[in-house]
């Protein structure tokens, strides 16, 4: 019998997942709350009826199926609140295409197995030739969501290292369609993105852009290409991580992880 994952929408961190100071337990089965932002497509999205879909939630469900000692409860929140929830004990797992960063590893445990391998690059107007790599970004205009994700973090680090010729960044929650329109008409010089997202956006919006694939060394300056489930640095976090790692070994060996990747992305980006 398939287990039912509970999905709730959170506003900040107002509600509590604790009952009488302890997380819910039913007949020896512990409830594990997973924090996710539920975006962007195809990593995640919330349907009009409130149900969560996408690669991240499908992988969470596949892991849960293999762990009878746990029942997973997914809570949709803002991306920064995933980390705040791990810090407070609200969440026992964080999932949202989260890549390794040194400062993150200092605070959180990363799963031993990644579930996404991203090809990261630069998106520019079709036919544009003056941007070929990271060294060409100084003085150019960019837009990033102020949510602590890799496009924002990389540009801020770049600007700290290049104060004489920084990237001109605008922070905005502007929707993806408008951003791609601005790339296409040249009013915005570039954005940083993963290739799978660009392919899907082109298909969704019918807007042609160029994706500049970068050498591995340059990609790793923007973000680590591997994404992981993360856990609090606690004894409980270590226990849950070990169980999740075991589930991932099974999902990799039986091809389920690859199957889910192909379903949502059209190709295998799981490994």
Where do we find the tokens 């409860």? Answer: 73
Could you check whether 6-117+225-265 and 120-222 share the same CATH topology?
Answer: yes
pLDDT at 194: 87
What is the rounded CA–CA span in Å between residue 136 and residue 139?
Answer: 8
- What is the token pair recorded at 203? 């298909």
pLDDT in tens, the chain (271 residues): 556 577 776 544 433 333 333 345 555 689 999 999 998 888 999 888 888 999 999 999 999 999 999 999 999 999 999 999 999 999 999 999 999 989 999 999 999 999 999 889 999 999 999 999 999 999 999 999 888 888 999 999 999 999 999 999 999 989 999 999 999 999 999 999 988 889 888 988 999 999 999 998 998 899 888 999 999 999 999 999 999 999 999 999 999 999 999 999 888 989 8
Per-residue pLDDT tens over the stretch 7-23:
776 544 433 333 333 34
Residue 17: predicted pLDDT: 35
Can you give the residue ranges of every domain in the chain?
A: 6-117+225-265, 120-222
Give me the pLDDT at residue 3, please.
Answer: 61
Share of the chain above pLDDT 90, in %: 69
What is the pLDDT, as a whole number, of residue 11?
42
Q: Report yes or no: 213 and 119 within 8 Å, Cβ to Cβ.
A: yes
How far does Cα 12 stand from its chain's mean position? 18
Output the pLDDT for position 14: 35
Domain spanning 120-222: which CATH class is it, in words?
Answer: alpha beta
- pLDDT for 4: 58
The residue written with tokens 């296409």 in the block is: 184
Q: What would the CATH number be for the domain defined by 6-117+225-265?
A: 3.40.190.10
pLDDT at res. 257? 97
Distance CA 63, CA 253 (A): 13
Task: Say whether 42 sits in a helix, a strand or coil.
Answer: coil
* Residue 131 near residue 122 (C-beta atoms within 8 A): yes
Q: How many Å apart are CA 56 and CA 39, to the nearest integer? A: 9
Q: What is d(CA 60, CA 33) in angstroms, rounded to the nearest whole number?
A: 11
């Amino acid at each position: 019998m398939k287990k039912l994952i509970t999905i709730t929408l959170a506003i900040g961190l107002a509600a509590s997942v604790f009952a009488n100071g302890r997380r819910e337990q039913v007949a020896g089965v512990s409830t594990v709350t997973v924090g996710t932002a539920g975006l962007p497509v195809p990593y995640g999205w919330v349907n009009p009826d409130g149900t969560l879909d996408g690669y991240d939630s499908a992988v969470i469900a596949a892991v849960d199926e293999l762990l009878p000692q746990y029942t997973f409860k997914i809570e949709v929140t803002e991306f920064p609140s995933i980390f705040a929830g791990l810090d407070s004990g609200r969440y026992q797992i964080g999932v949202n295409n989260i890549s390794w960063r040194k400062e993150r590893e200092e605070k959180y445990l990363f799963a031993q197995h990644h579930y996404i391998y991203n090809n990261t690059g630069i998106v520019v107007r079709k036919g544009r030739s003056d941007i070929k790599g990271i060294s060409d970004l100084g003085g150019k205009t960019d837009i990033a969501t102020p949510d602590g994700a890799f496009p924002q973090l990389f540009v801020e680090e770049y600007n700290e290292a290049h104060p004489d010729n920084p990237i001109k960044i605008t922070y905005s929650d502007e929707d993806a369609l408008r951003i791609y329109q601005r790339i296409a008409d040249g009013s915005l010089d570039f954005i940083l993105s993963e290739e799978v997202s660009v392919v899907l956006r082109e298909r969704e919006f019918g807007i042609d852009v160029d994706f500049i694939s970068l050498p591995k060394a340059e990609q790793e300056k923007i973000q680590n290409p591997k994404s992981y489930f993360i856990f609090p640095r606690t004894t409980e976090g270590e226990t849950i991580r070990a169980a999740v790692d075991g589930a991932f070994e099974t999902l990799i060996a039986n091809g389920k992880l690859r199957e889910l990747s192909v379903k949502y992305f059209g190709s295998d980006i799981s490994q």
